[in-house]
Amino acid sequence: MSKFKILNLIQIVVTTIFLNTLVFSTTVQWKVNIGSSIMHCPAIDGDYIYVIDGEKSLYKLTMNGKILWKVSIEKGFSSSPSIDEKGNIYIGSWDGCVYKINKDGKVLWKFTTEEYIFSTPAISKSAVYVGSQDGNFYALSFDGKLLWKFTTQGSIYSSAAIDNSGNIVFASSDGYVYKLSESGKLIWKFKIGTETNSSPALDKNGNILIGSYDKYLYCISKDGKLIWKILSDGGIYSSPVIDSHGNIYFCTEEGTIYRNSRL
């Protein structure tokens, strides 16, 4: 067995023991059943939690679990929400629209694409970025106007990451990772082995970590060059995360959790 596998086995055993200890030492503070399945990640903004259900609604809750409001649309929401500095919520939907909803639950606008949206909107100081199943990556103004769009050759499940220079990184099911400027100009594209649903993670140096269906986790430099890749035991659908020490964690379709040493 390789040192890499042994390290991961130790980490999983230690984590399992730790989590099992928490089960018996942690008290549930509250729980709220909204009456429908929840398939997307919640978003937290200060004192509030935003959750979408498996039907048609977005909920706003306090940190004490009180439901303040819910917003429903005909076909339902299909992405996790993002929140800007003013408490406005941006979210994709099964009707192919990006919605902006204010902190009081009022729909301010919607922008229509040609297909549904799984990609969680990414927010910069100047725009809202989101990919669509129509293969386009959109930059929208805060009042819902199209600033530009960039066309790929596949559906976009991946949510975007924004680097310190305002450049945008995302992936498409055409098998490429793209880096665009703030104005929508292609800086580079990098071919990974096959299509991906994984969203990129950026390290402190601007390097990009992303998984692929081809079982590899890729590390790509900010200049679009391959630094390394790691072969895992299965396709990587989820997104990697990086801890404060630079260690990388990712999961595969085989149910394996990996930890790679710091960058």
3-state secondary structure of 121: coil
- Mind listing the pLDDT tens digit for each residue in 181-203? 999 999 999 999 888 888 999 99
- Mind listing the pLDDT tens digit for each residue in 3-31? 434 334 334 443 443 444 444 456 888 88
Q: What is the DSSP string of 64-108?
A: TS-EEEEEE-SS-B-S--EE-TTS-EEEEBTTSEEEEE-TTS-EE
What integer is the mean pLDDT of 73-89? Answer: 94
pLDDT at 194: 80
Structural domains of the chain, ranges and CATH numbers in brackets:
39-151 (2.40.128.630)
Task: Give the C-alpha separation, 58 to 73, whole Å.
Answer: 9
pLDDT at 35: 78
Other Cβ atoms within 10 Å of 117 Cβ, number: 28
Is the pLDDT at 40 greater than 90? The verdict is no
What pTM did the predictor assign?
0.85
CA angle 207, 210, 213 (to 5 degrees): 155
3-state secondary structure of 111: strand
DSSP secondary structure letter of residue 12: H
Q: Residue 250: which of 7, 19, 8 has the closest Cα?
A: 8
